[in-house]
Amino acid sequence: MQTISLLVLIVAIAIGFWKNINVGIVSLALGFILTAAMGISVKVLVAGFPTKLFLTLLGTMYFFALLQDNQTLELLSRKIISLFKTRPFLMPVVIYVVSYVMSAAGPGAISVQSVMVIFAVSLAVQMKANPILMAVMAILGAVGGTASPIALTGIIVKDLTASLHVPGIAVPVFYGVTAANVFIAAIFYVVLGGYRMTLDANLQNVGGEAFTREQKICLAGLAALAALVVMVVIFRMDVGFVSFFLAFLLMLVGAADKKRPVKLVPWNVLILICGISVLMSVIKKAGGIKLLADLLASLMTEGTAAGLIAATAGFMSWFSSANGVVFPTLIPTLPEIIAKVGGELRLVDMLVSVVGAATVAGISPLSTGGSLIMATVAQNEVASSEDLSKMFLKLFLLSFCAVMLVVVFSLVGGTKLIVY
């Protein structure tokens, strides 16, 4: 049943692209069949619905749909573009740095991505630049910063290693993950053409327009959301519900239309994400993910252990939560693996491999980061259904490459250059 469950996932994606049916719908249908074949209750499907992710995506998408509808984001983007008229190639770097700093300050990747990916794509549309480049730089910055000891992933790593009686390792892991992340961001910046970015001739004189009263109110709401994202750890507020609340206030004061933004929400992308998540909950229960993870682990030697554990973490993170599944599953096994493999294998190297690979895998369209990119591009109407299908594959390929770059970083001992 483990092998069959993995084949079901492959079939679901294949049917979706072959028949041009939303893969989320196909996943729900095949998930229902798989539960029947396994003899388990359909309640497993219901329990697998990603309620928190759905509300986070819907809340942020709806809030930014309001800002998009009255052109607040467009005008804000044009004003920022005006600051980089002579050096537009620096914009992806700025997006990366801002995302990294915001994430490292505490909120973690998901909260920062919810704001920065949407903003980066909107900016790219105005600059007539590659939206995938800008959005990927936003995600990489966010997942790089989240390993900070005061951010979500860093806190989880610190707690898990403390339970293994290995205190004080969180900061070295943060340094190592940052090094691997910057390495990947630099390569993607070049490969995706960041250094070739230019400003369209029609945009050379942008930025002089004034904000209307309604747009100023929306900017206040956007500033409030950004502030709450930074403070979310302190106040324990959910960015999705905060978005709903701010959207309500904007409509209450007449700064946003009450009907049009609903049509701007990319419902097809939400169905895709949630449908696949439901199917993955059944596959995990069937042991499909564990099957491949165990196979990779059985191949480890001293020279390949760090690289293979990175590949395992990246693979698992494509289909499950890094913070909720990958880290609690893999990190406790590391001391035992090190003991079995022996040699000069260090715990910090293995931790950087796990955290680095699992976080950059978030570019995948099956993860929060990649799904945000697809949803935002669809919301900005810069991609047809066929384009979105191609983007799905491209984002997954970029995610695969990012994980493989962490594998290479691990195999060549990249962490040892940063953490002695």
Supply 378's token pair: 């669809």
For the record, the structure tokens of 87 come out as 């050096």
- 21-35, 191-205, 229-243, range with greatest mean pLDDT: 21-35
4-18, 220-234, 315-329, 375-389: segment of lowest average pLDDT: 220-234
240-259: buried (b, 16+ CB within 10 Å) or exposed (e) per residue?
bebbbbbbeebeeeebbbee
Domain boundaries, the chain: 6-418
For residue 341, give both structure tokens. Answer: 């493999």
pLDDT band with cut points at 50, 70 and 90 for residue 102 = confident
pLDDT for 126: 72
Mean pLDDT of 368-379: 80
The answer to which of 128-137, 283-292, 304-313, 361-370 has the lowest mean pLDDT is 283-292
Mean pLDDT of the chain: 80
| pLDDT at residue 361 in the model | 93
Mean pLDDT, residues 66-87 taken together: 67
Can you tell me the mean pLDDT for 142-151?
85
Rounded to whole angstroms, the Cα distance separating 114 from 103 reads 11
Q: Read off the DSSP letter of residue 210.
A: P
Confirm whether pTM is higher than 0.85: no
pLDDT in tens, 319-338: 767 776 678 778 877 887 88
The total of other beta-carbon atoms located within 10 Å of residue 339's CB is 9
Alpha helices in 70-107 (DSSP H): 72-82, 91-104
DSSP per residue, 260-310: HHHHHS-HHHHHHHHHHHHHHHHHHHHTHHHHHHHHHHTT--TTTHHHHHH
